Amino acid sequence: MKFFTMLLLILLSSELNAQVSGIIFEETINDGKKQKEGVPGVRVYWQNHDAQVASDNQGKFKIEAPGVLPDFLIFSYVGYPNDTVKITRAPVNNIQVVYKEGQELDGLTVKGKTSYISFVDPRNVRTISQKHLHTAACCNLSESFERDATVDVSFSDAVSGTKKILMLGLDGVYTQMLSENIPTMRGLSAPYGLTFVPGPWIQSIMITKGTGSVANGYESITGQINIEFIKPDDSPKLFVNGYINNNLRSEFNAYTATKVNDHWSTMFYVNGNLLQNRVDRNNDSFIDDPLTKQINVFHRWKYQKGNKMTQFGVKALIDDRSGGQTNFNYANDYNTTNAYGFGAISTQIEAFAKGGMPLKKEATSLAFLSSYRYHDQDSYYGLRDYKGTQNSGYLNLVYASYLGNTNHTYKAGLGGTMDLYEQTFVDSSFSRNEYVPGAFFEYTYKNLETFTAVLGMRGDYHSIFGFQYSPRAHLKWHPNEHTVLRVAGGKGFRSPNVIIENAAVFASSRVLDVRNGFGIEEAWNYGISWSEDFTLFKRDATFIMDFFRTDFTNQMIVDMETAGLVSIYNLEGQSFSNAFQVDLITEPLTGLTLSLAYKYTDVKMQYDSGLETKPYVPIHRAMANLDYKTPNKKWDFSFTSNYYGLSRVPSTTGNTTDNQRANSSTPYFILHGQITKHFKRFDIYLGSENLTNFIQKRAIIAPNDPFSEEFDASMIWGPMNGRIVYAGFRFKIK
């Protein structure tokens, strides 16, 4: 605690490196009035030095000033001629670059993008902006990937209503989740963590395919998802969002930012959602969506005096959800066979602090990120109870500098994680304490015009599994301003949480066979990608193609290949994933954006029965998005079509005839649409999810006899709720 306090005081009294910042606008004329809209993804770099950045989804940028001035700052974006600003001193924080409507280059016209691939970052990073999230339904992170094919979202089971993500065909536990570059959603948060993050609070989501930076930790195997929240500097004074759907699910979100004085600013967020209407559209005696009550608050502070800055905040959440049969009543039926019920109460408190300070040497700094999280969960599936408590701590100290000149930069760091678990499952109690101190070094070579290489190594000592190493490399070749080729490879590892990460299988009568002697999960990931900006019908277009392979050297296998049994054991043999994806983004007509994607996924792993395709993972997946904004920018229309091909389903041949299911899923389409009307200070929107009303038929095995040996609500490959019609509003005071 003394160390943390001292570091915070240093941050409050130290100056950061001199920076140049500003905002990049696109200026349009509507109804005779000029309007400005931030332009994301603009490349900003120095003419004679190597630092470069990209503007964020609001068009804002910050770049470190070189030690020698004057120099020229260049703004480069496909479709516009380069703009150049002479900088004679630093810091400078008020640069404005305006791209005007009609300012074209070779017939190209660039509009602000809601989802884009970075041409600057050496890693394969896709950014989903707040504008992109506004074109989808409300209201949490699990519902934020419906319009992006990189991340698949599916139901975990037909009782809890929770959702899981898949990346490169593998479960979300192999994707490192970050909240403003601080690891989150670990351990007990695995089943429900995606529903704990309100979508309207999010400024952007950055999705990195493959192993991420060693500076962020060791758990990134298939990728990283970093969530950036709206911050005091970017927030309106007041934002309010309301939502309701035809099942009477309602949600309220609000945040407000206050500039306390010249140096302090603060922001407060609140979220509440409620669903107490029992809906059973398929008449299987189980409610389609769990009843939920959630309250979520977040309070953050920022201190800035000149270039001095630090941030800290606290989040708190209470989530109460229940489900099961429509006639289940907790007071009368809990822990009995009168009716099948599900319930989970989660309480979570999280605090964070982060900042940085410059050192005397040019382009050299020291930064830190820290967090503490408490999570308590009390849940039950039928006659199975689970209770767990987790206390987690995280600290990362990062030193950044260069070797010889700023073509050769590096980061070095020390830190670690702490996870303390107390858990009870049915009649067994068990605890586990994990301490993982570690260190890393990451070297970056930049040839600004053509080539960037990032080579990293980290070593971590796990208190249970011993020393682990994680080498990683990212190479980017930029032969011209329109083309980027990337190659990446590296290793990651994680400590499995056997019970809570497989909570979905509790929604069944399967006998749980957990074999002893679990090892660390570790895998190598390799990838190659090609991104190309080009002209299509005299308009701007982007094409992306990538391939990633993941090879496990050890893995926790969840084996449901025998009806009535789930076995969990260490991998003995092969386990791999091959994922190929292509994307095309273009603007065929003024105001109309078309995004197309296709993905092929091949995931296999060694079970007791042999090498099998991983169940519930579609081999083929396709997506099409259409977004149209009227010329006066008062109406937005959005339409998304998702296609899910065949996926394998574990065998049920051991069940009686009525309780057997096909060994593969049914290919299906899911269609979503939304219309938004913009007014001066508020928007109203109306939309529908699952327009075709597709539902997985007979999803629950033996629903009328939920305490029988063959009951199973965990074999889910399709949607559990039918057509959803919703409406909402957004109100903003700038």
Domains and CATH numbers, the chain: 2-112 (2.60.40.1120), 117-733 (2.40.170.20)
Give the chain's end-to-end CA distance (angstroms, integer).
38
SS3 at position 11:
helix
The overall average pLDDT reported for the chain is: 88
Peptide bond connecting 138 to the previous residue in cis, omega within 30 degrees of 0: no
Interacting residues of 365 by C-beta distance below 8 A, sequence separation 6+? 16, 17, 356, 357, 358, 359, 399, 400, 401
DSSP per residue over 641-699, as a string? EEEE---B----TTS-GGG---SB---EEEEEEEEEEE-SSEEEEEEEESTT----TT-
Residue 25 and residue 103: Cα distance in Å, rounded? 13
- Can you give the pLDDT at residue 729? 95
Q: Work out the pLDDT band at 398, boundaries 50, 70, 90.
A: very high
Q: Which residues are registered as beta bridge partners of 566?
A: 512
Residues 586-609: tens digit of each pLDDT: 988 888 999 999 999 999 999 999
Q: Work out the pLDDT band at 1, boundaries 50, 70, 90.
A: very low
Residue 417 and residue 369: Cα distance in Å, rounded? 12
- Can you give the pLDDT at residue 305? 74
Q: Which whole number is the average pLDDT over 422-444?
A: 93
- Which tokens sit at 166? 């898949």
- Can you give the pLDDT at residue 91? 80
- Can you give the pLDDT at residue 448? 63
Q: Which whole number is the average pLDDT over 47-60?
A: 75
Residues 114-130: tens digit of each pLDDT: 566 677 778 888 888 88
Q: Work out the pLDDT band at 102, boundaries 50, 70, 90.
A: very low
Residue with tokens 């630090």: 310
- Can you give the pLDDT at residue 591? 87
Asked whether the beta carbons of 696 and 718 are under 8 A apart, the reply is yes
| 629 to 451, 683, 684: CA distances (angstroms) | 37, 14, 15
Q: Which whole number is the average pLDDT over 268-282?
A: 94
pLDDT value at 8 more than 50: no
What is the 3 state secondary structure string of 230-254? CCCCCCCCEEEEEEEECCCCEEEEE
Instruction: For residue 698, count other CB atoms closer than 10 A to its CB.
Output: 12
Q: Given the DSSP bridges, would you call strands 405-425 and 19-30 parallel, antiparallel or unpaired?
A: unpaired
Region of poorest pLDDT, from 98-102, 143-147, 703-707: 98-102
- Can you give the pLDDT at residue 34? 55
- Can you give the pLDDT at residue 106? 32
pLDDT value at 64 more than 50: yes
pLDDT value at 217 more than 70: yes
- Can you give the pLDDT at residue 15? 40
Q: Which whole number is the average pLDDT over 162-189?
A: 92
- Can you give the pLDDT at residue 389? 97
| 283 to 287, 660, 697, 699: CA distances (angstroms) | 9, 19, 11, 12
Q: Which whole number is the average pLDDT over 221-236?
A: 90
Instruction: Determine what percent of the chain is predicted with pLDDT higher than 70.
Output: 91
Which one has a higher pLDDT value, 10 or 704?
704
Q: Which residues are registered as beta bridge partners of 175?
A: 223
- Can you give the pLDDT at residue 97? 82
| 286 to 281, 379, 693, 696, 704: CA distances (angstroms) | 9, 18, 18, 14, 9
pLDDT value at 100 more than 70: no
pLDDT value at 3 more than 90: no
- Can you give the pLDDT at residue 122? 83
For CA atoms 321, 325, 327, 332, the dihedral sign is negative
pLDDT value at 372 more than 90: yes
Q: Work out the pLDDT band at 29, boundaries 50, 70, 90.
A: very low
Max avg pLDDT among 94-103, 136-145, 292-301, 399-408:
292-301
Q: Which whole number is the average pLDDT over 247-267?
A: 93
Residue 569 and residue 576: Cα distance in Å, rounded? 17
Which one has a higher pLDDT value, 382 or 122?
382
Residue 12 and residue 308: Cα distance in Å, rounded? 6
Interacting residues of 64 by C-beta distance below 8 A, sequence separation 6+? 17, 18, 19, 20, 51, 363
Residue 465 and residue 630: Cα distance in Å, rounded? 58
